[in-house]
A and B are shown apart, each in its own frame.
Chain A
């Protein structure tokens, strides 16, 4: 009897102790939750961090932009924390914008990506983008636009399937993965602030192990997405005499290795809808013209990429089974420049 009540007393005491478990948690209304993080460098060589923070209480202003500088990114983030009136919570950051002078420096960019990946607070699934403009201008442009939400910069990249297939997003972890991958490179979207819209999509920078090798236009990027087996649905293409919309696409890749020379046959199947056409234009003409345009575009990019030893299509991935793991490390320099691609497009009408 006495032992039992002692147990109960002890248990009740433990409960009281556990109830205090939230002593170090700040309530959500007492936190500042930035959505976009901008990284640039000042002339003095210090990192400059810009945050876009939604404002909920004020009706006229949708967001505010806060900056902080420091010798490292962490110290800059820490400074913002010190100077902020609330607790700053970096766990909800959805987009990271890096200014071009940092992005064009391989060492700097690699370090930033490694930091973002290693950071426990900043989520590695947040998207990354590069801008040629001043980061602050890009982030603050949202305040000047009428009728937009604070989250519009993030929404820009997440329109959902087939609304704007050219715009694509690259999360931090994919960039991190490409730093080590020997068979696949990555494209990072390029943005700037628009006049009437919040952002303008300018294309992508192509990165090889953190080094920017090339810059592609939006319609070229589209093709890369298709070849990486993402759907091209919703893409509108103008042929001059007709406009079409891609309603479905699929790709089949078949790698082979003959005398240690890689070759790849790829068949792209596209289904289209004709949206408008000039008088007297036949279906056949539209199909042939489209096939020609896509093939031409593809070989143009491939030539450029092979010259710079950058495997943006990720063709090396297809050879994982054919080339041994250690040999694959030399994929970009030894195999890729000799790669023969037999690319065929087949267009079907819906």
Chain B
């Protein structure tokens, strides 16, 4: 039971981590009115994929995604999972770098970015090396520490809300569904890690559904807080809308006069856990597919990720690359659940739980 709560916590934390930095900008680019439509559509699409993924995984009890691919054949594992692992490296490194930039602009304006980058990398690699148990336990810790801050952010920002800045209308027909950027949005959700831990616990769709509802509500808050404060016209001109909306809050009776600091602290917690999960996934994939100790793989690949993060020259390119890598991530998010589902269905002749124990 506790493990399921831990998994839900990881699920929410990863979504939040991806959600805060680039996600709102993408939504504002996709539509000018009825932003909720985009978010709900994306979350529903994600829910469908999760359902397919869970169904597929349930055909193979006590086996994770890598085992299933290996069952298909070693070639399948190499073809599907090696590019995925490489994408994860890029995603981890860019995610870390993007968070570093935001953290610098909030409270460490004079510190060179490599110093923060190295620190964040060190902690997340350490967590990843310690294995899944540590990640899950620290997820609970970070969750307890981050959620009050998220709530504080939401409530404190409400002093600047102006409901009239948002049009709650409908967009019919929903044109954004055909845009490429809409599918990029999918890359921000990462439910794929669920398949990597399934060997330890049997997951219930019901509990994940609860986590999914929380994630949807949080996504709405991330998009709507800047909208309520600035309005669509202004929000598209801002580089980091959520950060600016935190910065606009001035509660003179409150002992801390910068709400953005809380936001920065929150980001640190989120990025460390997210990256450790990504590294751990890389480690598991490589160990099972290429047979070598996972910790060596993690160390080597995190070093490559660090180099990539250091090499990216500026913010504009960073955001572009991040978008590309999340686009690739979205691709895997569709491909992996569907192949698993089809293989499971085919190999078991449609009978559930028929696989070898």
Which residues in A have some Cβ–Cβ distance to B below 8 Å?
Answer: 14, 18, 21, 24-25, 117-118, 120-121, 123-125, 158, 171, 173, 176-177, 179-182, 314, 317-318, 320-321, 325
Contacts and interface: CB of A to CB of B under 8 A. Distances in A.
Contacts of A125: 247-250
B119 A18 contact: yes
B105 A120 contact: yes
B contact face: mostly helix, strand, loop, or mixed: loop
Q: Which of A24, A179, A314, A318 has the most CB of B within 10 A?
A: A24
B296 to A, nearest CB: 14
B167 interface: yes
7 contacts: A21-B119, A123-B247, A125-B248, A125-B249, A320-B166, A320-B167, A321-B168
A307 B248 CA distance: 32
Given A25-B110, A125-B247, A320-B166, A158 B119 contact: no
User: Shortest 4 CB-CB distances between A and B: which pairs?
Assistant: A317-B164, A180-B233, A125-B250, A173-B248
B167 A177 contact: no
A124 B105 contact: no
Given A117-B244, A180-B231, 20 more contacts: A14-B122, A21-B115, A21-B119, A24-B111, A25-B110, A120-B109, A121-B109, A123-B247, A124-B248, A125-B247, A158-B252, A173-B248, A177-B234, A180-B233, A180-B234, A180-B237, A181-B231, A181-B233, A321-B167, A325-B169
Interface string B289-317: 00000000000000000000000000000
A171 B237 contact: no
A173 B244 contact: yes
Nearest to A160: B252
B57 to A, nearest CB: 35
Contact of B250 (A14, A121, A171): A171
Contacts of A121: 109
Contacts, number: 59
B234 A181 contact: yes
A18 B121 CA distance: 13
Given A173-B248, A176-B234, A325-B33, A318 B164 contact: yes
A188 B52 CA distance: 56
Interface residues of B, number: 31
Interface string B217-245: 00000000000011111100101000010
Nearest to A178: B234
B348 interface: no
Contacts of B166: 320
Interface in B52-110: 105, 109-110
B165 interface: yes
Contacts of B115: 21
Contacts of A173: 229-230, 244, 247-248
A173 B241 CA distance: 12
Interface in B154-193: 162, 164-169
A176 B244 CA distance: 11
A177 B232 CA distance: 10
Contact of B230 (A25, A177, A317): A177
B250 to A, nearest CB: 4
Contacts of B233: 180-182
Nearest to A158: B252
Contacts of B105: 120
B163 to A, nearest CB: 9
Interface string B334-353: 00000000000000000000
A40 B262 CA distance: 35
Contacts of B109: 120-121
A350 to B, nearest CB: 27
Nearest to B115: A21
Contacts of A124: 244, 247-248
B116 to A, nearest CB: 9
Interface in B1-43: 32-33
A320 B164 contact: yes
B135 to A, nearest CB: 19
